[in-house]
């Protein structure tokens, strides 16, 4: 028996030793209340310690007695389904007073990360929540905009888990405590970027789990931009058919803080004619536009510029406006969308070519037989030229003389040469003056001779009336008092006929005026139209042979419009391109107070160094040729000598100007 007793004693001693060294696995808790373990703290408060007051609400014997953080009648937050009614419900509760004001303040203050130790009273916490409600609302709305809130997530909680409640005994205050019952509840879940969460059970408004405060709203500022180049270079917003257009979509974050998740949307639209880009960027897609990928939604690093996409294509259709816009949403936290739009007009840049002659502007027009005149010093030539090394486009084979500027109009352009005539060089080799170094085309010549007063030379004229088919006329001078219409159809000038028509009024040319296809030098025809008024040329007119002169009358008119209707030019608007889209060849000259080159056929990008009057894509082509001066009558001459209108010999000597 003694042995047995010894064995028992030894076992007891061993058991005691084992017990002493066994690890303590249970949490230290207040006796009888695992709901209130000692140790963990949330927002500065231990379990079962009042968040606002710091009061210990544990009562020996009975533990804690709690209710919902938010009662809200009986619905608590069960009716909350979105940010709007969450914010409005919380505001209503906060300002409604009573326990729910305390509950709302508890949630707002903890979501802002406020430690309970910074308060000593419930009213202090409520005041803090009211004073910082806007900040709280900004954060909640920001989380919502980022898709970081689930307003109705079903969550199964495994006991024991961290819970909160309103203590009803010892102190009316909100507390944290450990719930000992599994449950599945509808929950509002705020997900922080670091993976932590802030969770509120909707049936009671209790803050649940190890909820972490919401982060501050970042102060980023995004600016979208749509850039464009044409043929790889900067553009004034105009491209031509065949040009390569490249849109570049970028977003700049000018802030030192990274952005939140942002959506980016590219819109593309094209419009016939000119589209006036509005001040507010347009979110418009049309004509089956498919936007390039943007990689959004995405964030944008602090102080960064990111190229989202580029889009490159070849302009294929004239007379349209191509617009692209980029929107980022939100451009600031809790703000809306912001966009940028850029439009490119695919337009024709029609040009004029002069072969075999010169262009002169600024000459004064003498009156009567006077040899003096008043020049127009500001008279200039404005056209479109491709520049570069070939200077294809607008220009003349020979010289250009201007008292004002010469802008994109090359001289010494010659077929096939592409560089120079003799020792002249493009583009100002035959410009007067060619010392102007502004844009390289020359101009600002000192003086020019006067243009004779052709109309005053009318004599021995035969009166005719409108409409007048030129084919019906023979050699002689004719005069029309009032406006004249030269009708559609071919108005043929028969060989050897040398016709001058004086018009005291406006002229509307509705049909071609042509010399015959072939003639000998001694039967060279001539047509001169001398108008004291305006000349309007219908868009259906493709060829005018002869000299066309428009002078002012009493200081008015004197213009030639290459695209007009009966006694009026076509309007310069979106209809002009289609109305005037035809080529006009003038085998002769224009002389006028002002010349409006309105044809829209072709574009300067189509111009070639090898082009001729026939092959040129120019809208207006002038071929100054010997026919104009071989048949050189004295206007209104009365001679009866049949040889008076004939030359004995003709030769051409340099200079050719």
Partner 1 sequence: MNKKVKLLVLSIALIVVAGLGVFLYQRHVNNNNKTETEKIKYAQLVENTQSLVSAQKYDQAETLWQNYLKTDHSKTYTRGAYVQLATTYSNAQKYDQAITYYKKAEAIESKLDVVTGLAYTYESKGDKTNAIMYFNKAISLTEKSDDPSKSADIQGYKYEISQLEGKQ
Angle between helices 83-96 and 133-145 (to 10 degrees): 160
1 binds partner 1 per the rule CB under 8 A: no
CA 446, 450, 455 angle in degrees (round to 5)?
A: 155
Query: Are β-strands 526-532 and 543-551 bridged in parallel, bridged antiparallel, or unpaired?
Result: parallel
CB of 1 to partner 1, least distance (A): 12
Q: Which is nearer to partner 1, 6 or 646 (CB)?
A: 6
Residue 518 parent element (H or E): none
CB of 69 to partner 1, least distance (A): 9
- Token representation of residue 459: 């004599």
CB of 60 to partner 1, least distance (A): 15
CB of 157 to partner 1, least distance (A): 7
Q: Which is nearer to partner 1, 172 or 203 (CB)?
A: 203
366 binds partner 1 per the rule CB under 8 A: no
Quick one: which of 1, 24, 61, 74 contacts partner 1 (CB under 8 A)? 74
Q: Please list the residues that pair with 385 across neighbouring strands.
A: 393
Q: Which is nearer to partner 1, 28 or 154 (CB)?
A: 154
Please identify, among the stretches 70-78, 334-342, 443-451, 647-655, the one whose residues bind partner 1 according to the rule CB under 8 A. 70-78
- In angstroms, the CA 9 to CA 15 distance is 10
Q: Which residue, among 424, 375, 429, has the nearest Cα to 404 in the 3D structure?
A: 375
Cα dihedral 19→20→25→26 (10° resolution) = 90
Q: Are 314 and 242 in contact (CB under 8 A)?
A: yes
CB of 212 to partner 1, least distance (A): 13
Residue 608 parent element (H or E): none
Q: Which is nearer to partner 1, 202 or 557 (CB)?
A: 202
- Token representation of residue 258: 């990274």
Q: Which is nearer to partner 1, 151 or 318 (CB)?
A: 151
Reduced to 3 states (helix: H, G, I; strand: E, B; else coil), residue 128 is helix
CB of 197 to partner 1, least distance (A): 7
93 binds partner 1 per the rule CB under 8 A: no
Angle between helices 133-145 and 98-111 (to 10 degrees): 60
Query: Are β-strands 491-492 and 207-208 bridged in parallel, bridged antiparallel, or unpaired?
Result: unpaired
26 binds partner 1 per the rule CB under 8 A: no
60 binds partner 1 per the rule CB under 8 A: no
Quick one: which of 153, 261, 494, 625 contacts partner 1 (CB under 8 A)? 153
CB of 68 to partner 1, least distance (A): 4
Eight-state DSSP code of residue 118: G
Q: Which is nearer to partner 1, 77 or 580 (CB)?
A: 77
Binning the chain into helix, strand and coil, the percentages to the nearest 5 are 15, 35, 55
Q: List binders of partner 1 among 5-24 (CB under 8 A).
A: 6-7, 10-11, 14-15, 18, 22-23
CB of 52 to partner 1, least distance (A): 19
Q: Which is nearer to partner 1, 201 or 514 (CB)?
A: 201
**What is the per-residue DSSP string for 150-219?**
EEEEEEEEPSSEEEEEEE-SSS-EEEEEEE-S-EEEEEEEEEPTTS-EEEEETTT--EESS--PPPPPP-
Query: Residue length, the chain?
Result: 657
Q: Give the burial class of 491: count Cβ atoms within 10 A of its Cβ; 0-12 exposed, 13-18 middle, 19 or more buried.
A: buried
CB of 64 to partner 1, least distance (A): 5
**Mask 175-214, x = binds partner 1 (CB under 8 A)?**
--x-xxxxxxxx--x-x---x-x-----xx-x--------
Please identify, among the stretches 58-66, 256-264, 399-407, 570-578, the one whose residues bind partner 1 according to the rule CB under 8 A. 58-66
Q: Which is nearer to partner 1, 29 or 306 (CB)?
A: 29
Q: Which is nearer to partner 1, 296 or 359 (CB)?
A: 296
CB of 155 to partner 1, least distance (A): 6
Cα dihedral 382→386→392→394 (10° resolution) = -10
Neighbours of 425 (CB within 10 A): 15
**Mask 154-173, x = binds partner 1 (CB under 8 A)?**
xxxxx----x-x--------
Q: Are 536 and 568 in contact (CB under 8 A)?
A: yes
Q: Which residue, among 473, 494, 474, 495, has the nearest Cα to 484 in the 3D structure?
A: 473
CB of 187 to partner 1, least distance (A): 9
Q: Please list the residues that pair with 544 across neighbouring strands.
A: 513, 586
624 binds partner 1 per the rule CB under 8 A: no
31 binds partner 1 per the rule CB under 8 A: no
145 binds partner 1 per the rule CB under 8 A: no
CB of 27 to partner 1, least distance (A): 13
Q: Which is nearer to partner 1, 18 or 649 (CB)?
A: 18
Q: Which is nearer to partner 1, 126 or 149 (CB)?
A: 149
Binding residues for partner 1, total number by CB under 8 A: 49
CB of 108 to partner 1, least distance (A): 20
- Token representation of residue 145: 């905009």
List contacts with partner 1 (CB under 8 A).
Answer: 2-3, 6-7, 10-11, 14-15, 18, 22-23, 25, 35, 63-68, 71, 74-76, 78, 150, 153-158, 163, 165, 177, 179-186, 189, 191, 195, 197, 203-204, 206
């Amino acid at each position: 028996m003694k042995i047995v007793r010894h064995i028992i004693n030894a076992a007891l001693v061993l058991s005691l030793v084992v017990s002493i060294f066994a690890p303590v696995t249970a949490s230290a808790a207040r006796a009888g209340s695992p709901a209130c373990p000692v140790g963990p703290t949330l927002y500065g408060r231990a379990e079962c310690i009042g968040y606002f007051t710091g009061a210990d609400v544990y009562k020996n014997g009975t533990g804690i007695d709690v209710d919902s953080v938010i009662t809200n009648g009986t619905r608590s937050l069960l009716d909350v389904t979105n940010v709007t009614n969450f914010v409005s419900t919380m505001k209503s509760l906060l300002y409604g007073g009573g326990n729910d004001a305390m509950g709302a303040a508890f949630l707002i203050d903890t979501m802002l990360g406020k430690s309970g130790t910074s308060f000593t009273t419930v009213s202090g916490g409520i005041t803090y929540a009211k004073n910082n409600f806007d900040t709280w609302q900004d954060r909640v709305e920001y989380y919502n905009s980022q898709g970081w809130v689930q307003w109705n997530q079903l969550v199964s909680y495994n006991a024991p888990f961290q819970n909160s409640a309103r203590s009803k005994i010892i102190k009316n205050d909100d507390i944290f405590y450990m719930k000992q019952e599994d449950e599945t509840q509808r929950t509002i879940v705020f997900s922080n970027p670091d993976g932590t969460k802030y969770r509120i059970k909707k049936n009671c408004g209790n803050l649940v789990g190890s909820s972490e405060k919401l982060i501050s709203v970042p102060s980023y500022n995004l600016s979208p931009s749509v850039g464009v180049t044409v043929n790889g270079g900067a553009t004034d917003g105009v491209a031509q058919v065949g040009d390569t257009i490249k849109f570049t979509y970028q977003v700049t974050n000018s802030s030192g803080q990274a952005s939140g998740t942002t959506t980016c949307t590219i819109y593309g639209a094209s419009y016939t004619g000119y589209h006036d880009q509005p001040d507010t960027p347009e979110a418009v897609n049309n004509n089956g536009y498919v936007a390039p990928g943007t990689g959004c939604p995405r964030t944008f690093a602090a102080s960064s510029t990111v190229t989202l996409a580029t889009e490159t294509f070849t302009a294929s259709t004239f007379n349209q406006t191509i617009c692209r816009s980029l929107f980022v949403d939100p451009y600031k936290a809790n703000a809306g969308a912001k966009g940028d739009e850029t439009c490119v007009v695919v337009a024709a840049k029609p040009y004029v070519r002069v072969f075999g002659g010169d262009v002169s502007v600024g000459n004064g027009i003498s009156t009567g037989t006077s040899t003096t005149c008043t020049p127009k010093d500001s008279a200039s030539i404005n056209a479109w030229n491709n520049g570069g090394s070939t200077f294809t486009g607008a220009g003349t084979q020979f010289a250009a003389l201007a008292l004002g500027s010469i802008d994109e109009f090359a001289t010494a352009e010659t077929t096939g040469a592409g560089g120079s005539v003799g020792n002249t060089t493009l583009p100002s080799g035959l410009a007067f003056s060619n010392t102007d170094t502004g844009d390289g085309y020359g101009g600002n010549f000192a003086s020019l001779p006067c243009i004779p007063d052709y109309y005053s030379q009318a004599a021995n004229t035969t009166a005719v009336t409108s409409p007048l088919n030129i084919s019906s006329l023979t050699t002689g001078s004719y005069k029309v008092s009032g406006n004249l219409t030269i009708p559609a159809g071919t108005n043929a000038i028969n060989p050897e006929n040398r016709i001058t028509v004086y018009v005291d009024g406006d002229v509307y040319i509705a049909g071609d005026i042509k010399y015959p296809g072939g003639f000998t030098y001694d039967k060279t025809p001539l047509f001169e139209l001398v108008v004291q008024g305006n000349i309007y040329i219908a868009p259906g007119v493709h060829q005018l042979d002869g000299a066309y002169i428009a002078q002012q009358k009493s200081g008015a008119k004197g213009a030639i419009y290459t695209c007009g209707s009966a006694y009026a030019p076509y309007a310069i608007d979106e209809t002009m391109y289609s109305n005037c889209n035809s080529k006009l060849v003038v085998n002769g000259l224009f002389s006028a107070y002002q010349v409006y080159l309105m044809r829209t056929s072709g574009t300067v990008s189509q111009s070639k160094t090898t082009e001729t009057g026939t092959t040129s894509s120019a809208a207006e082509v002038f071929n100054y040729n010997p026919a104009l001066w071989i048949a050189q009558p004295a206007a209104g001459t009365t001679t009866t000598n049949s040889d008076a209108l004939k030359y004995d010999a003709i030769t051409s000597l340099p200079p050719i100007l």
